[in-house]
Structure 1
Amino acid sequence: MFNVLLAKDHVKGIGTQDGSAKKDEDFKDKSQRQVQFNPGQTRATWRVRILTDGKYEQAETFQILLSEPVMGVMEFPAAATVEILDPSDESTVFFPEQIHSVEEDVGELFIPVHRSGDISQELMVVCYTQQGSASGTIPTTVLSYSDYISRPEEHGSVLRFDKGEREKRCLVVIIDDSLYEGEESFNVTLSLPVGGRLGIHYPTTKVNILEDMDDGKACLRCPPSSYFQ
């Protein structure tokens, strides 16, 4: 807000000054270069149009300046800084679904990962697993009672979006064994984005491995001694 000492038929010059934001690229001001206050008027509006281009940009600024008062004097401040923020255009990566439920014999589970906003540049993000009631293991040492192949939070788990690409798939291998198990779950999480940010909905998705009734029926037919082998 600008504070001025007002007088009858008070007129004040007004205009913009480029900063990191540029006139006619990031904003457009009015051709009218004066603001007039009529007798008794204490507030006036001078509009500046902010231009959007659909591309993500860091915060940019420009100034609005008051000058050359007529029938009045200038008070501080005579300039205001306008900051243009662009969060809606920032490239954002996320899981479109919060929960995935699969059978144990699904084998390879491809979890969609989407991005929105400005997709004109590359983006990289780590997609890794977090153990829950289901246990993970690494490919070289598949352990008994493991339910899936883990994706560690490291370079080998990076997904790379090329320019213009909106969807990638995060692969998790589900281990199918002959042991009866109830429903179990683990999480798959996105982290460490480069070239964008994580979305609020959803940076993590839950994978439910459903109860395998076929394994349960098989065990019911096993001889008693087999339980202790």
Structure 2
Amino acid sequence: MSLTFVLIANTSIKEYIPGYPNVDERRELYKLNIIADSLLIDIEKKNIYIENIKNIFADDPFNEDVSEVKPSIFRYDTIKNIKSYNDSILRAEFENQSMYNLYFNESGQLAESSKASIKSFNFFIPLQGIITSRFSLLDKHYGVDLVTSHNEAVKATLEGTVIFSGWTLETGYIISLQHSRNFISVYKHNSVLLKKEGDHVMAGEPIAISGQSGELTTGPHLHFELWENGTPVDPQEYILFN
């Protein structure tokens, strides 16, 4: 009996047992499992991204990075079953598919998660003015304040897409842009917004008119923030303000 079981379990004879999936069926099942895993990763990334946006407008930084999402379904090192020769060939075939390698690199992170050098970005000064308040995580001041005369053009610091254009009680008219490499720029206390959500803008393109809208202002100025992967960063480390 034991010999018969071993013979069936480790040879292609098991494929003739009613109900046991053949090679083509296992191939399709494996493919569907990979697709399902990648969809779960995409959903988790989108959920983190949405939470990032919510925290940005609430001035609440956090450290979750969408690039840190890792696969949760496939743990090949925990598989204990004895694989037949055909099963091993099938597994190797799919693990080498570019569809799979598109999502993960050798370290287990998303292949697209590597950051480009900051030198490849040409940040545009959003507004010519004098910095009166600098970036400070300790004081929860997540940007810089640029004092300028009223009704000056506020310009996009990088090429991007408008993801928010609206009003809040504390900071008045706000416009925010999504840029490549998970950068987001935020412009607050404007008097007029020139772009709407979904608009694509170029670096240096006017997106608003400066002002002093909102309760948290004592005069005409621009509060400018720069976020990277959901975390506020000091704009002066990226932009040479005059």
Query: Under TM normalisation by the shorter chain, which class is it?
Result: under 0.3
Taking structure 1 as the reference length, the TM-score comes to 0.27
Q: Which has the higher strand share?
A: 1
Q: Which has the higher helix share?
A: 2
Greater length-normalized contact order (CA 8 Å, ≥ 6 residues apart): 1
Instruction: Give the greater-gyration-radius structure (CA).
Output: 1
Taking structure 2 as the reference length, the TM-score comes to 0.26
